[in-house]
A and B are shown apart, each in its own frame.
Chain A
Amino acid sequence: MQRKISFHVPSPDETEILARRLGDCLRRGDCLLLSGPIGAGKSHFARALIQSRLRQPEEIPSPTFTLVQIYELDFSELWHCDLYRLSDPLEVIELGLLEAFDDAICLIEWPDRLQDLSPPTALHLEIVADPKSILARTIILTWQAPSWDKRMSTL
């Protein structure tokens, strides 16, 4: 059964607060799929989340050109991926993403490129623009795996 929760965030600062709260509850083996059009704020969300999990502030370059940026956290790696440039899901395997799904925390932009390889336990996050405000967004989280239930209810 699909479950869903949504948040209205009035500004990029509020988006960052939500990203940090979500970051707090991610653990090894979790996968967060970030959807939304260009300019929706996927990278903004990902950057805030990653920064909140790093021991020391680090630069978080855009993963668009390198496809993957890997960060060392205390108990696992965190993979920040932008799959836009992939043309074949087989390339997901070449990148080593399947192993990362098990061993790391993965934040994936443009997850439609995963096709059948999308992990069934992933948390989907969609960022939707607000027609009434340039800065506001609606952030919709959906999932199937019960392991998210408790974490999402306290978010």
Chain B
Amino acid sequence: MRNGNASPNGPVVLGLESSCDDTAAAVLQGSKILGEVVVGQGALHESFGGVVPEIAARAHAERIDLCVADALAQAEVALGDVDCIAVTAGPGLIGGVMAGVMCAKGLALAHGTPLIGVNHLAGHALTPRLTDNLAMPYLMLLVSGGHCQFLIVHAPDRFQRLGGTIDDAPGEAFDKTARLLGLAQPGGPSVEAEARQGDALRFVFPRPLLDRPGCDLSFSGLKTALMRTRDKEVAADGGLRRQTRADLCAGFQLAVCDVLVKKCARAIEQYLSLSPRVPALAVAGGVAANASIRAGLQQLCTRYDMRFVAPPLALCTDNAAMIAWAGGELYQLGYRDDMTLAARPRWPLDQNAVPLLGSGRKGAKA
């Protein structure tokens, strides 16, 4: 019987995630992943020179049913034994989010199971508790293709944003750099591989916003600077030399790394002023896979005598286990959604944060 009292091993949660390019479902009991299925299009990505988005709600809707069935089968759990259904309700691609929410509502209604809408970013931000049982408050750097922000995680339902990007996210900057230099997509791994062969000091790129106080970041100008330098080199050499390309990648990566590390140091100082019992920095998102960025953040933690946590990549990129985990945490806090749960294409984690304004901030109405 479901009466809100979960078993001693924690509630059994079914998580659904379809806010981006992949469709995924997972079953968790406490922090144990009993079943997990991701249906994506990874293999297609490279051939298109960009990550192919799944914009058709229909395609997500068709796949999510199968994902749920497979995840439950793997977990050997019947739908009737699930304590709660957690679903990404935003932010993200609206068609995909809607497909997930509709499916979750249908399942919850059919089986009388509690339903919880989860913020996709909360899923990322709470993952270090799933993997490393991190105590709150901890500092979180969320850095991916579409996001970049520093958060203090005070509670599963309370996040404080210290700063974030005012334009592009670093993952997007890596992708666009790869595009500008004719490298494979996604850009993160290909730019990193190329950078390993390069001289990071041959070209010096700008460090945007480093001269300003606070933790806000900007990466859009870096891309423009890279394009300028590329054009100059191409004009001088009559083409893009292999070594030049590697040097451009190395210089770009160093700039991104430098900005992230220096801004992170500011975020750490703000965080440490709270005197957390077990100070920790966690990093999540695809960009956390970059070895030099990771090393830079790790050194920073050593300097400040903090724990550094980077969950395994499969749990750092978009997945349903993190949604199930976040849903489970909210479930235990008493959260429940009803059939009015709606998809939210934009959904800031910290509702009180001052908007990050880039261009146009000097507008007459601002």
Interface, chain A (partner B; CB < 8 A): 12-13, 16, 19-20, 37-39, 41, 43-44, 47-52, 54-62, 64-70, 84-87, 91, 94-95, 134
CA A20 to CA B360, docked complex, whole Å: 8
B277 at the A interface (CB under 8 A): no
Within 37-60 of B, Cβ neighbours of A (below 8 Å) are at 48, 50-53, 55-57
Contacts of B345 in A (CB 8 A): 66, 68-70
Contact sample, A vs B, 28 pairs, CB 8 Å cutoff: A16-B362, A16-B363, A20-B363, A20-B364, A38-B223, A39-B176, A39-B224, A41-B224, A43-B168, A43-B359, A47-B167, A48-B363, A51-B361, A57-B366, A58-B355, A59-B355, A60-B358, A64-B146, A65-B145, A65-B169, A65-B172, A66-B92, A69-B346, A85-B51, A87-B48, A87-B52, A94-B56, A95-B95
Give Cα A70–Cα B362 distance, bound, in whole angstroms: 21
Residue B348 at the A interface, CB < 8 A?
yes
> Is the CB–CB distance between B359 and A48 below 8 Å?
yes
In the complex, what residues of B have CB within 8 A of residue A19's CB? 360
Contacts of B57 in A (CB 8 A): 94
* A66 close to B93 (CB less than 8 A): yes
- Asked if A65 and B146 make an inter-chain contact with CB atoms under 8 angstroms apart, the answer reads yes
Pairwise interchain contact B365-A134, C-beta atoms closer than 8 A: no
Pairwise interchain contact A59-B55, C-beta atoms closer than 8 A: no
Q: Which residue of B lies closest to A45 (CB)?
A: B359
Shortest C-beta distance, A78 to chain B (Å), equals: 13
B residues 147-173 in Cβ contact with A at 8 Å: 167-169, 172
Sorting the interface of chain B by its residue count into under 10, 10 to 19, 20 to 34 or 35 or more gives 35 or more
Residue of chain B at shortest CB distance from A54: B365
Chain A residues within an 8 Å CB radius of B169 = 62, 65
Q: Is the CB of B363 within 8 A of A47?
A: no
A57 touches B365 (CB 8 A): yes
Max count, chain B CB within 10 A of own CB: residue among A19, A56, A84? A84
Q: Say whether B146 contacts A39, CB under 8 Å.
A: no
Which listed residue (B55, B176, B348, B358) contacts A95, Cβ 8 A?
B55
Chain B residues in 8 Å Cβ range of A38:
176, 179-180, 223, 227
B364-A43 in contact (CB<8A): no
Report how far A107 CA is from B358 CA in the complex, Å: 18
Q: Bound complex: CA of A51 vs CA of B226, how far in Å? A: 27
Interface membership of B193, Cβ < 8 A: no
Residues of A within 8 A of B220 (CB): 43-44
| Residues of A with C-beta under 8 A to B175 | 64
| Chain A contacts for B20, CB-based, 8 A | 65
* B51 nearest CB neighbor, chain A only: A85
CA distance A2 to B35 in the complex (A): 59
Q: Is B356 an interface residue (CB 8 A)?
A: yes
- How far is the CB of A37 from the nearest CB of chain B, in Å? 7
A57 CA to B362 CA, complexed, in Å:
10
Q: How far is the CA of A65 from the CA of B165 in the complex (A)?
A: 14
B355 near A57 with CB under 8 A, answer yes
